[in-house]
Structure 1
Amino acid sequence: MPSDQIEIRVDERGGATVLRDGHPQSYVDLEDPELLVFEYVQHLAIGLDLLPPGRIGVTHIGGAGLTLARYVHHTRPGSPQIVLEPDAALTERIRRELPLPRGHRIRVRAIDGAGGISGLKDDSAEAIVVDAYDGGQVPGDLVGSRACADYARVLGSGLLLLNLADEPGLHHLARVAATVRQSLPHTALISTHEVLKGKRYGNLVLLASRQPLDERELRRRAASAAIPTGVRGADALAALTRTARPFDEIGDPSPVPPDPGRWRLR
């Protein structure tokens, strides 16, 4: 749905935070596309960097400030990218106030993720990045079995990256992972240590593929991240999903985020 309010806040360094309906969506630094401020965006980039060097075809579900698309263009020039972002007003403002770099191959389509992904061709992307929220929650139609089957169809042997959010216990994530594993059996999880250890609500990036993931390289990259970051590999996710019930065609939205003032560490 189109946003009720779009705000772009420029800081003293010249970077800009994009907010939609009061929720921070992106941080963009036009001079430094590799500056990834949000933790989960850093984790998504770590996942993308696992792919072989050179151009990659990336489909993004959720656009906001197009931070990750800019990162891919900067680190892998010439990469063809499709962004499924239904908020045309947001995209128009981003293009106007935070213009995309010259020579980019980023195409933004004003369509929701579930509808857009169903219309893409088989084996048409090396990576799919799902980073879409509605009112602070991941929509259920992006984590159900229908969407997951479409991800697998469009990817072929490529890599799926899902930016999820969950509470301590990770019950929602377990159901999403169980659903994803039906189509893309090789999975891993990357997040901050605090979230992985169940100390607070937060974002987690789920990686999935038909092919085995390079967990050793993923752990190496996570260990060198700017923030304390951990990885849960295939064995840990198999244990987490052992009793989790996969979602039907449409899943449940992620838990409602808590009032930030009430977040507390255990």
Structure 2
Amino acid sequence: MGIVAKSGKAAKSARGKRSTAGVIEVPAGTRPDGPVEGIYYIDTGDCELLHDPDNTNGWLLKINGVLSSHIDLADPLFLDFEYMRWIAALVESRWPREAKPKLRALHLGGGACSMARYFHAAYPDARQVVVELDGKLAGYVRNWFDLPKAPLLRIRVGEAREVTETLTPDTRDLIIRDVFAGAYTPRALTTREFNAHADAVLAPDGLYVVNSGDAPDLKNARADAATIADTFEHTMIIADPPMLKGRRYGNMIMAGSHVPFGDDPTLARRLLGGAVPAHIWNDAQVRAFAAGTPVRHDAPSPAPVPPAA
């Protein structure tokens, strides 16, 4: 998770705050059984667990100083980050909860597994895999937040692209890309070639969703939109108006599918009625936004070096 769109109270209060709880390094096999405030060493640096001052059941997770996740232990359906609420609204528009679908979801980027907890509560029969690069972090999160066990929720430690490339075609209904290294998603997860792997893993009516973080120039967002539009027949963007107009740093939710999104007034009302009202751009608007922006591709492989004579 990267740049956070205007979010809940807890997320705002945690920005720039460093815990005074001290550094905690827990030896392997003796992780706290339940959340304990402090700074923990992980494979990729450190993570900081903070109690939410406004919610006795709430916890905030920072990774290498960057706000990553919020968890409400008592209510998995509570999402503090607005962009996660937008994702939830979009997914539920495609698969209404009352239909009780057995959703097959792949989450690229783990953090505290906030979205996976949400979908487990919304769709109890869902089967979910969360891909997390950091093995130590995955272990902590399992212990801290009492996540559903396999096969309902599996955490697979690995690099998101490498894992995606190993998956069997047509085995997921939903893929959510929420991977960041600092402010932006690693390029290897943003190219046309990667999108093709994701597309192959999805069912024909599947949904590909990405969290695209950007600066006011929207250069990264346009490239993400162009590349998704080059892969999928139908696209959508959800964001608040200041972000769409390039007036601040923040997040856009982009989606691609081979099934039309349609005009869902319930989704539009839900997005407008949130704490941070969001608008929907349809496929034509997304393609107009991305017009003239080159599609991202993998870097060419280096030419083989001929053997010495």
TM-score, with length taken from structure 2: 0.77
Q: 1:250 to 1:32 in 2, by over 3 A?
A: farther
Supply the AA of the counterpart residue of 1:133.
F
Could you tell me which residue of structure 2 aligns to residue 22 of structure 1? 65
Query: Relative to structure 2, which stretch is displaced further, 94-103 or 187-196?
Result: 94-103
> 1:109-133 CA deviation, whole Å, 9 max, x = no partner?
0011111111111111110000111
Structure 1 position 91, deviation (Å):
0.8
User: Where in structure 2 are the equivalents of 1:75-224 lying within 5 Å?
Assistant: 75-101=122-148, 105-156=152-203, 157-217=205-265, 218-224=267-273
Could you tell me which residue of structure 1 aligns to residue 27 of structure 2? none
Distance 1:108 1:73 in 2: 14
What SS does structure 2 have at the residue aligned with 1:182?
Answer: helix
Q: 1:160 to 1:72 in 2, by over 3 A?
A: same
> 1:161-212 CA deviation, whole Å, 9 max, x = no partner?
1001112232221111111122212001001222112110101100110111
Whether 1:236 and 2:285 are equivalent positions in the alignment is: yes
**Once the two structures are aligned, what percentage of the paired residues are identical?**
27
Structure 1 position 78, deviation (Å):
1.8
What SS does structure 1 have at the residue aligned with 2:264?
Answer: helix
CA contact (8 A) 1:140 1:250 kept: no
Distance 2:184 2:245 in 1: 21
Supply the AA of the counterpart residue of 2:133.
P
CA contact (8 A) 2:93 2:264 kept: no
Q: 1:239 to 1:62 in 2, by over 3 A?
A: same
What SS does structure 1 have at the residue aligned with 2:175?
Answer: strand
Which of 274, 280, 286 does residue 225 from structure 1 map onto?
A: 274
Query: Relative to structure 2, which stretch is displaced further, 46-55 or 2-11?
Result: 46-55
Distance 1:3 1:221 in 2: 37
Whether 1:32 and 2:70 are equivalent positions in the alignment is: no
> 1:66-124 CA deviation, whole Å, 9 max, x = no partner?
00000000000020001111111111111112221478711110011111111111111
Pairs aligned (count): 251
Could you tell me which residue of structure 2 aligns to residue 42 of structure 1? 85
RMSD: 1.8
Segments of structure 1 that go 5 or more residues without pairing to the other structure are 252-266
Segments of structure 2 that go 5 or more residues without pairing to the other structure are 1-41, 301-309
Query: Relative to structure 2, which stretch is displaced further, 18-27 or 51-60?
Result: 51-60
Could you tell me which residue of structure 2 aligns to residue 10 of structure 1? 51
Structure 1 runs of 4+ aligned residues shifted over 6 Å read: none
TM-score, with length taken from structure 1: 0.89
Distance 1:114 1:184 in 2: 18
Distance 2:124 2:252 in 1: 27
Supply the AA of the counterpart residue of 1:4.
G
Supply the AA of the counterpart residue of 1:167.
A
Could you tell me which residue of structure 1 aligns to residue 117 of structure 2? 70
Answer with 1 or 2: which has the greater Rg: 2
CA contact (8 A) 2:184 2:214 kept: no
Whether 1:249 and 2:298 are equivalent positions in the alignment is: yes
Supply the AA of the counterpart residue of 1:28.
I
